């Protein structure tokens, strides 16, 4: 079995994987980082979004071997150094941007990627960016609101929460 090595949340990791092992499986099954979720088989749901070398990637769409040598960031590495929630995570809690929590890791990772490229997105830009992240619980209202709030925009005027 080939060996793969990558840095995950700042730590060096390596493991023996099959050629067909997906990055999502490597993270969940080999490293025990079960915060990255798998909600579909067709790369639509976005529950598995992680960052690979700073880019948002669906971890179920690439093989672990394709991430050889990469810097990978997952939901487990997103909190502040003191363990407190980061700005995006805190905004999701403040604005009730999650219910069952299953899509949440992917939502937070996608939101981080969006705000890195577009620090003050419009509502329409947030909604368009989340095209690849499905949530079944929230009707998206509070997710969009949380991301706008995380970007520092005033969400007080948004239709009654």
Partner 1 sequence: MPKDSGIGASPKRREDVRFLTGAGNYTDDINVNGQAYVHFLRSDVAHAAIRGIDTSAAETMPGVVRVFTGADFEGVGGMPCGWQVTDRHGNPMQEPPHPILAQGKVRHVGDPIAAVVADTYEQARDAAEAIDVDLEDLPAVVDMKSALAEGAPKLHDDLTSNLCYDWVLGETDDALVDKAFAEADHVTTLELTNQRLVANPMEPRVAVGTYERGTEDYTLYTTSQNPHVIRLLMCAFVLGLPEHKVRVVAPDVGGGFGTKIFHYAEEAFCTFAAKACNRPVKWTSSRTEAFMSDAHGRDHVTKIELAMDKDNNFTALRTNTLANMGAYLSTFSSSVPTWLHGTLMAGNYKTPCIQVNVKAVFTSTVPVDAYRGAGRPEATFQIERVIDMAARERGVDPIALRRQNFITEFPYDTPVALTYDTGDYNGTMDKLEAAADIAGFAARRAESEKHGKLRGLGINSYIEACGIAPSNIVGMLGARAGLYDAATVRVNATGSISVMVGAHSHGQGHETAFPQVVAEMIGIDESQIEIVHGDTSKIPFGMGTYGSRSLAVCGSAMVRATEKVINKAKKIAAHLMEASDADIELKDGVFSVAGTDKSVAWGDVTLTAYVPHNFPLEEIEPGLEETAFYDPANFTYPAGAYACEVEVDPETGKVTIERFSAADDFGNIVNPMIVDGQVHGGIGQGIGQALLEGCVYDENGQLLSGSYMDYAMPRADDVPFYTVDHSSQTPCTHNPLGVKGCGEAGAIGSPPSVVNAVIDALQSGGNEVAHIDMPLSPARVWQAMNG
Cβ 108 to partner 1, closest distance in Å?
6
Which range binds partner 1 by CB under 8 A, 51-59, 65-73, 86-94, 111-119? 86-94
Q: Figure out which of the listed residues 4, 6, 31, 35 binds partner 1, where binding follows CB under 8 A.
A: 35
Q: Is there a contact between 113 and 56 (Cβ–Cβ < 8 Å)?
A: yes
Phi then psi for 103, rounded to 5 degrees? -80, -15
Q: Figure out which of the listed residues 6, 52, 133, 150 binds partner 1, where binding follows CB under 8 A.
A: 133
In angstroms, rounded to a whole number, what is the distance separating the alpha carbons of residues 98 and 93?
A: 7
Measure CA of the first residue to CA of the last residue in the chain; give whole Å.
52
Using rule CB under 8 A, residue 93 touches partner 1: yes
Which range binds partner 1 by CB under 8 A, 41-49, 51-59, 62-70, 112-120? 41-49
Q: Which stretch of DSSP H or E encloses residue 106?
A: helix 104-117
Size of the chain, expressed as the number of residues it contains:
161
Instruction: Provide the CA 25 distance to its chain's centre, in angstroms.
Output: 15
**Residue whose structure tokens are 């830009």:** 125
Using rule CB under 8 A, residue 100 touches partner 1: yes
Q: How many residues bind partner 1 (CB under 8 A)?
A: 60
Instruction: Transcribe 32-44 into DSSP letters.
Output: --TTS----SSS-
Q: Figure out which of the listed residues 12, 42, 81, 82 binds partner 1, where binding follows CB under 8 A.
A: 42
List residues near partner 1 by CB under 8 A.
Answer: 18, 20, 28, 33-42, 44-45, 47, 74-76, 78-79, 85, 89, 92-94, 96, 98-105, 108, 123-124, 126-128, 130-131, 133-145, 158-161
């Amino acid at each position: 079995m080939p060996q793969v090595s990558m840095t995950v949340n700042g730590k060096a990791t390596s493991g023996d994987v099959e050629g067909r092992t997906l990055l999502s499986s490597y993270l969940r099954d080999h490293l025990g980082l079960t915060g990255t979720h798998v909600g579909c088989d067709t790369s639509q749901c976005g529950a598995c979004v992680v960052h690979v070398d700073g880019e948002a990637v669906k971890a179920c769409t690439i093989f672990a071997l394709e991430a050889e040598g990469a810097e990978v960031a997952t939901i487990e590495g997103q909190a502040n150094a003191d363990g407190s929630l980061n700005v995006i995570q805190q905004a999701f809690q403040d604005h009730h941007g999650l219910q069952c929590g299953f899509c949440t890791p992917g939502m937070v990772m996608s939101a981080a990627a969006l705000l890195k490229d577009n620090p003050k997105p419009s509502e329409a830009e947030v909604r368009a960016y989340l095209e690849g992240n499905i949530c079944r619980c929230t009707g998206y209202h509070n997710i969009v609101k949380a991301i706008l709030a995380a970007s520092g925009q005033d969400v007080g005027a948004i239709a009654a929460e």
